[in-house]
Amino acid sequence: MPSQTLIFAHRGANREAAENSRSAFDAALQYKIDGIETDVQLSRDQVPVLWHDRFLGKVGLPLKHIDDFNFAQLQQMNFAAHFSATAVPQGLMRLDEFIAAYRRRCRLLIEIKNRDWEEKARHQIKIRQTLDMVGEVDGAILVSSFNLDSLVYAHHCVPGFPLVYNLETEQTFADARRVVTEHSFLHGLCLPIETLDQAMAALLREHGKSIAVYTCNSDDEIGKALGLGVDILISDVPQKALQMRNR
């Protein structure tokens, strides 16, 4: 466990540049953050790319998914335009590019977005490709998912890899207890800040699990996470979280 709460920029500095873009990641690093959180999806031709949303409404395709297009087609779309009409055009960043560019500069939290409409085989391809691209298990890169079956599969692929299960807002203390009891291989849980309280923190510490929280933006949310001593605080305003932690 880290000696102090680590501050992770949520999809980079997403209020200063298009989320999950090189510009957002570079902007976040100007604040001397501890880590970056990002999201991985798979193009139709099985290229892992960084994108969060279920749909492509931000590029004018509200009924389409990432996996409706090959990577070459996705590269023709300007994924920075939704942030600013004057932003320098940017295509999607590949996962291998992201890892190569940032793994030596800060910690990374890679969330694998395995969607309900995808075939299970594609879920597994995404897991294997992500683990292969990370390669060396050094503790500086964590992989997370809301899909527990995907994390079980990842554990079978690379036992000992640090894996984090993301809880949905509607999941309860009982759900968390069941997960950490039945899946002891998990490195930790990533909780919505609304779910975190003293009892939840005590449960995870009792089982030796790390605690990450999302998405802490207000003074109250950041203060709550810091007060309960979480290991990773994910924020859209990492500079504010850093200032509060350092005080």
- On the question of pLDDT at 134 being above 70, the answer is yes
pLDDT of residue 81: 86
Distance in angstroms (rounded) separating the CA atoms of residues 44 and 53: 16
- On the question of pLDDT at 1 being above 70, the answer is no
- On the question of pLDDT at 2 being above 90, the answer is no
Quick one: average pLDDT of 226-237? 98
Give which of 79, 83, 98, 94 is closest to 26, Cα–Cα.
Answer: 98
Quick one: average pLDDT of 26-45? 97
What percent of the chain shows pLDDT beyond 70?
100
- On the question of pLDDT at 132 being above 70, the answer is yes
DSSP 67-112: GGS-HHHHTTS-TTTTT-TTSPP--PPBHHHHHHHHTTTSEEEEEE
pLDDT of residue 84: 86
Neighbours of 213 (CB within 10 A): 29
* Model confidence, pTM: 0.96
Residue 175 — pLDDT band, cuts 50, 70, 90? very high
Quick one: average pLDDT of 198-217? 98
Task: Give 240 or 84, the one with higher predicted confidence.
Answer: 240
pLDDT of residue 164: 98
Say if residue 11 is exposed, middle or buried (CB neighbours under 10 Å; 0-12, 13-18, 19+).
buried
Q: Spell out the domains of the chain, with CATH numbers in brackets.
A: 6-246 (3.20.20.190)
Residue 41 — pLDDT band, cuts 50, 70, 90? very high
